[in-house]
């Protein structure tokens, strides 16, 4: 009887769930362990999220993919290809965002205006709104020794969308 109760109350580990078909958890060859969020009223496509991150100290990056379009079978191939191509070009992501990050740095860290942007921020996230568009985003977070800030830039056709003033100004 004790074995029955123990089995009834057992919570499967993520690894056990990853081995169950249609559990919404898989171990992906490129993204590692990921979980599925089905389509809902805000998203007409499902998407996957990474549990762990890709760590690239050389490029000041500790990246998770927070929105990988796909279905219950896994990420769509076009989404996989797109995000992996960004992962393989981290210097380009820094170059794309350098000017905008420096503007934000002036608002949040005016005493550090001459400091290298990569001394303050690290690249933390990549995501896509939909699999078949050129809309995507990249996020940066301040390092521990700085007041926490999180900045996301949305791209359309590899051009940063302008930030609203409310997104730029520090609030306490």
**What digits encode the pLDDT tens for the residues 23-71?**
789 999 999 999 999 988 887 889 999 999 999 999 999 999 999 999 9
Question: How many angstroms separate the CA atoms of 63 and 103, rounded?
Answer: 22
Least-confidence region, from 21-25, 102-106, 122-126, 150-154: 21-25
Question: How many angstroms separate the CA atoms of 99 and 157, rounded?
Answer: 18
Q: What is the pLDDT of residue 164?
A: 53
Instruction: With 0.85 as the threshold, say if the pTM is over it.
Output: no
Question: How many angstroms separate the CA atoms of 151 and 77, rounded?
Answer: 27
Question: How many angstroms separate the CA atoms of 65 and 67, rounded?
Answer: 6
Q: What is the pLDDT of residue 165?
A: 46
Q: What is the pLDDT of residue 172?
A: 34
Q: How many CB atoms lie within 10 A of CB 111?
A: 6
Q: Is the pLDDT of residue 81 over 50?
A: yes
Q: What is the pLDDT of residue 167?
A: 46
Size of the chain in residues: 172
């Amino acid at each position: 009887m004790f074995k029955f109760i123990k089995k009834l109350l057992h919570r499967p580990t993520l690894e056990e769930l990853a081995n169950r078909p249609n559990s919404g958890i898989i171990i992906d060859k490129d993204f590692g362990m990921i979980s599925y969020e089905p389509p809902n009223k805000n998203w007409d496509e499902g998407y996957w999220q990474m549990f762990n991150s890709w760590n690239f100290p050389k490029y000041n990056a500790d990246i998770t993919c927070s929105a990988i379009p796909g279905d219950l079978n896994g990420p769509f191939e076009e989404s996989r290809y797109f995000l992996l191509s960004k992962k393989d070009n981290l210097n380009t992501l820094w170059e794309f965002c350098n000017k905008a990050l420096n503007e934000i740095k002036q608002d949040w860290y005016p005493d550090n205006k001459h400091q290298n942007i990569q001394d303050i921020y690290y690249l933390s996230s990549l995501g896509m709104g939909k699999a078949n568009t050129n809309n995507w985003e990249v996020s940066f977070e301040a390092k521990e020794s700085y007041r926490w800030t999180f900045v996301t830039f949305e791209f359309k056709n590899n051009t940063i969308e302008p930030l609203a003033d409310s997104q730029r100004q520090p609030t306490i």
